[in-house]
A and B are shown apart, each in its own frame.
Chain A
């Protein structure tokens, strides 16, 4: 899932960059161009990492999950292949056009290239999450045997896979959380410069736009999160029970602000400050609805409670925190001298990691919450790994990937910090003899 460390930022930052450049095309005001180039460069550093780690995503299925690939290839192959043909190509081709096309194509076409990249990046996430959605809630398939007598899942209704509500809701939720990452990234870097009184006008207007974008995205994250919760309640009741650490099946379950699950004792050690019926309301929008407790599921099909429960808690906590930060950001940045509020700017600056952490926690809830299943209710994770590769190989590749991604991640972060700290170049294109970027 390392792919999702680098990608979320690109989902929203591409849109912001395209927006800035479009303003430039429409107004011919060079400030917008400078903005597109400054944020676009930071986008590119991240994008390079997102694209190359996308390679891994496409191949890790077979490398580590051979049995699973044989089992589910009939179904999951199509969305991944279409993702490559439709989205991956678009973004990879037009990013080249954007980087190299400044003097080769018209201004409008150039801005359009970034819109295409933004569209394709978002579209790519859709296909990936439709594939993931099928693993969470299998639809449109039947079980059959292939020609060499192994059982496998076969697709019988592609449309059902395309319209799987689980996939779409998850897509919307993940997409919006990616936009929040971008908004906090732009706000945080702007705050850093405002604290140092650099390029005030430039970073104030970047900040304002990002704040509005962030507030909208935060609101939608929460809204789609609510839909997502009700879908989980319907489709994966065991995950819901683990998220809320509910052990006994009953009606009108309350939400305890202080709660400590006791996994071996199959109970909660602490349950304090309970809001009555809150879990039932969140799950089914009905305060008297029944929540299935973990005890209703045999032990071997229960997900691990601790990571799912705390992952969910902290994710929601961060989500609410970010909502209020962006609400304040929109409100405070309306004033012309908001840079004097140094405390708030520091809060924004140090909130850059918050949406990243929330996103990773979200993946923990979603993927660990599905255990022991890899395809929910159909195939167990333990039956899905590759038989022919040894533990040594898997371990070796894990170390390799960790070192490689860790190394590249550090270099990428170093470059982002370097270029973010340097601030925008005040040079109009084509008129200067030397330009920092291409040295």
Chain B
């Protein structure tokens, strides 16, 4: 019981860590065409995420693999029901990773512009599809004991689409802020302006999302039952406002930090409403996949808890070390004369 709850909380933390960390890589990637006006600027952007993107992506693998270990039916059904969407996400993430690595390997304009397009598309697509997927999970999937009654197209219902747009905008602002913290000069201020402009749109969509959530999902049932949970959407909205304030003040690192908080609390807001389900059924709550009916055996949960308690803090420690090593802004000079990078 306690272990099941622990893993429900860890499940949401792992997803929010993934979105927080890969969110800015996806955001930087999808904006790389807008922010990077020249080849050098594009390379500055790619190199600003270069040392960290692969480590960030592993949080997705960890979120997926721990779901497999702790809630096997959730893992099995989530991935087979949402097959096409998740397959597209996988393809996109594969192409994105390879694009970073391969773009600089041949010095030819059409080679580079092909990878530039690949980076933009393969960053935008996962952001949108993750949003659509989570929007549908928040609504509940059309599933009963005979299986799943939907397709890729039923995922693109208005609420799913709105969550998709919310994710895209969250990550776009996040990525622009990251770029503004990690680069200099014209590129840096362009990133800051872009973050500032996109924020307006983001805020409107975020408010609309919360309102729409009240009508399209049952997430608020939990909020009425336990009003204390309202703290999650409250922190979400307050950190979004803080992002705007700190952009205006020019405290971009703080703005970026609050953007991290906003992304995490967007996930918490949804997941708190889901409890005790991990994936509810839209057809009948009897078919909900809950913490209680779909967890692993207590023994497996115990093994996983011990492993997570030991290894996750170690991972966080050395990732922090890496961010400290590469804390400096990436300069145009680093790229022109540099020994390192993509």
State the A residues within 8 Å of B (CB).
Answer: 44-45, 48-49, 51-56, 58-59, 61-64, 66-67, 69-70, 72-78, 80-86, 88-90, 92-93, 95-97, 99-105, 144, 146-148, 152, 154-156, 158, 386-389, 393, 397, 400, 404, 408, 411-412, 415, 418-419, 429-430, 432-435, 437-439
Contacts and interface: CB of A to CB of B under 8 A. Distances in A.
Interface of B: 43, 47, 50-55, 57-58, 60-62, 64-66, 68-70, 72-73, 75-81, 83-84, 86-87, 90-91, 93-95, 97-98, 101-102, 104-107, 147-148, 292-294, 296-297, 299-300, 303-304, 307-308, 311-312, 315, 318-319, 322, 325-326, 335-342
Nearest to B152: A393
A192 to B, nearest CB: 20
A437 B297 CA distance: 51
Contacts of A393: 83-84
Contacts of A158: 299, 303
A70 to B, nearest CB: 5
A435 B336 CA distance: 8
Given A48-B102, A81-B62, A439-B104, A100 B326 contact: yes
A164 B102 CA distance: 40
B55 A96 contact: yes
Contacts of A72: 72
A48 B98 contact: yes
Contact of A52 (B50, B93, B315, B325): B93
A70 B69 CA distance: 10
A103 B315 contact: no
Given A55-B93, A400-B87, A69 B68 contact: yes
24 contacts: A48-B102, A52-B93, A55-B61, A58-B65, A59-B64, A62-B75, A63-B86, A64-B80, A72-B72, A73-B69, A77-B70, A77-B296, A85-B307, A85-B308, A85-B312, A92-B54, A93-B322, A96-B53, A99-B51, A101-B326, A156-B299, A412-B102, A418-B105, A438-B43
B72 A77 contact: yes
A92 B62 CA distance: 12
Given A52-B94, A77-B72, A96-B55, A103 B340 contact: yes
Given A59-B90, A62-B75, A102-B340, A418 B106 contact: yes
Nearest to B295: A147
B147 A388 contact: yes
Contacts of B50: 96, 99-100
A100 B341 contact: yes
B66 A62 contact: no
A385 B118 CA distance: 32
Contacts of A105: 325
Given A59-B86, A438-B104, A69 B65 contact: no
Given A78-B307, A81-B68, A92-B58, A438 B340 contact: yes
A96 B104 contact: no
B85 to A, nearest CB: 11
Given A63-B86, A74-B72, A81-B62, A404 B304 contact: no
Contacts of A82: 307, 311
A92 B93 CA distance: 14
Given A56-B94, A155-B303, A63 B338 contact: no
A52 B83 contact: no
Nearest to A63: B79
A62 B338 contact: no
B219 to A, nearest CB: 24
A438 B334 CA distance: 10
Nearest to A153: B297
Given A104-B325, A388-B80, A61 B101 contact: no
